Chain A
Amino acid sequence: MPASRDGELALRADPDGELASRADPDGELASRAQLGDREAFERLVERLLPRVRAFLHRLSGSRGSPDDLAQETFLVAVRRLRDLREPERVASWIFGIALHVHRESARRTRRGAELADVPAAVGRTGAEADEERAIVNDAVARLADRLREAFLLRHVEGLSPAEASLALGVPEGTLRRWDFEARERLREILKGRGIGGPATRPATRIAP
């Protein structure tokens, strides 16, 4: 997974310096957790749980409970942690489980994977920001499931094409095509709705 700011902070905060030379703290933490290291697991949860919760929330909107879905995801992960063959790919693995849990939940409840309402927001406030969020959420909700999943994993969660394709269980070429289709579709939907022109403030760029 791409080195995030959180990751850098975690490396700096590592008291033993064990992780300092590692480019992939998640992989290292997962390896240690597989051996029963609770502290490593706790740190892994600290790093991945917020991302997984946010991802599940964006996928299911206000109709699903991100806590329930995230808990189910991590309980499955705990059960299978020893079977994880490539700890360095733990992020793709967890997101893959989360996707699976989300799809199963959507199928059970037959409510689909729609972003029905505009979920709660942080950051900008005001009518204009609310309207922009509503338009964007509506546009993303109109994407086919696979396109939405590919887009969120790539551009919001910041997974690389290889990581996202692994989480989705498809070849990288397919992921790239879905991502391209998602972007084209979003461009079509948002055309003429006031989004797509120059923005007024910078956005945080997540690693490609």
Chain B
Amino acid sequence: MTLDLVDRVAAVLRETAPPVEGESLRPAILEAFDRELRAPARRPALRWSVAAAFAAAVAASWLVVAARFESAPPIVRTPVALAPAVPAVDRAFQEALVKARIAALRETVASVGREPVERVVPPATVAPPARPVAAESLAIRKVAAAADEPVGALYRLASARRFESLDREGAAERYRELLQDYPDGSAAEVARARLRDLSR
């Protein structure tokens, strides 16, 4: 029988077997299950008491901060800061970032009386790459170019956002890792906001 190359490669790879499974592996996993999921009665109460204590601590510290900075100006939320309200790297987020960036460019251009905005953003930076890419990848590249944001940070953001539908804690972990690697910038700001939302 003639096999396609993919089938043949896959068949060869399937011949690659891991070493024999360690005897302690399954017991360790099942023990973790017993610990985590077989004590349902105590956990909610514990969680609520921890949550209540945390809320009280936050409220107390907020009162102290508020008293000290009563006259501080209100925080102005930028379009980027509002972005977490919509799915990451969706149209609204892209538009917010692009608009913010282009608005800033327009202001700069107007102030020095130079060329129109369209020339300030070099076409090469927003042009589609040579190879055809999926719509989301293209959108991410455009946003990255327009907002001076690392492409990798936006990819990670999109990936974490997508994982939210499956597993919120897993998504939170991805946001935290994004923050480790890209602590500054809009993607970090969005990741922080998503983390705050997820912890509620």
Contacts and interface: CB of A to CB of B under 8 A. Distances in A.
Interface string A144-160: 00000000100110000
A171 interface: yes
A187 interface: yes
Contacts, number: 184
Interface string B14-49: 111111011001101110111011101000000000
Contacts of A45: 26, 29-30
B135 interface: yes
A85 B165 contact: yes
Nearest to B164: A85
B169 interface: yes
A86 interface: yes
B130 interface: no
Contacts of B174: 100, 169
Nearest to A103: B177
A53 B21 contact: yes
Contacts of B165: 85-86
Chain A interface size band reads 35 or more
B134 interface: yes
Given A80-B167, A199-B2, A38 B8 contact: no
Name which of A79, A132, A187 has the most chain B CB atoms within 10 A of its CB: A79
A203 B11 CA distance: 6
B133 A169 contact: no
A67 B17 contact: no
A75 B29 CA distance: 6
Interface residues of B, number: 50
A140 B135 contact: no
Nearest to B32: A78
B10 A80 contact: no
Given A45-B29, A96-B163, A190-B5, A80 B21 contact: no
B5 A203 contact: no
Interface string A45-65: 100011001101110000000
A189 B3 CA distance: 18
Interface string A180-207: 0001001100100001101101111110
A82 interface: yes
Contacts of A76: 170
A80 B174 CA distance: 14
Contacts of A118: 16
A29 interface: no
B86 interface: no
A120 B37 contact: no
A105 B28 CA distance: 20
A80 B168 CA distance: 9
Contacts of B158: 169
A198 B32 CA distance: 48
A206 B9 CA distance: 13
B182 to A, nearest CB: 15
Interface stretch (A1-9, A14-22, A121-129): A121-129
B18 A203 contact: no
A85 B166 contact: yes
A96 B17 contact: no
Given A45-B30, A119-B18, A170-B162, 18 more contacts: A38-B38, A41-B37, A49-B21, A53-B18, A56-B18, A67-B21, A75-B29, A75-B32, A79-B32, A82-B37, A84-B167, A85-B166, A118-B16, A129-B15, A155-B7, A166-B162, A196-B5, A203-B10
Interface of A: 33-34, 36, 38, 41-42, 45, 49-50, 53-54, 56-58, 66-67, 70-71, 74-76, 78-86, 89, 92-93, 96-97, 100, 118-124, 129, 132-133, 136-137, 139-140, 152, 155-156, 166, 168-171, 173-174, 177, 183, 186-187, 190, 195-196, 198-199, 201-206
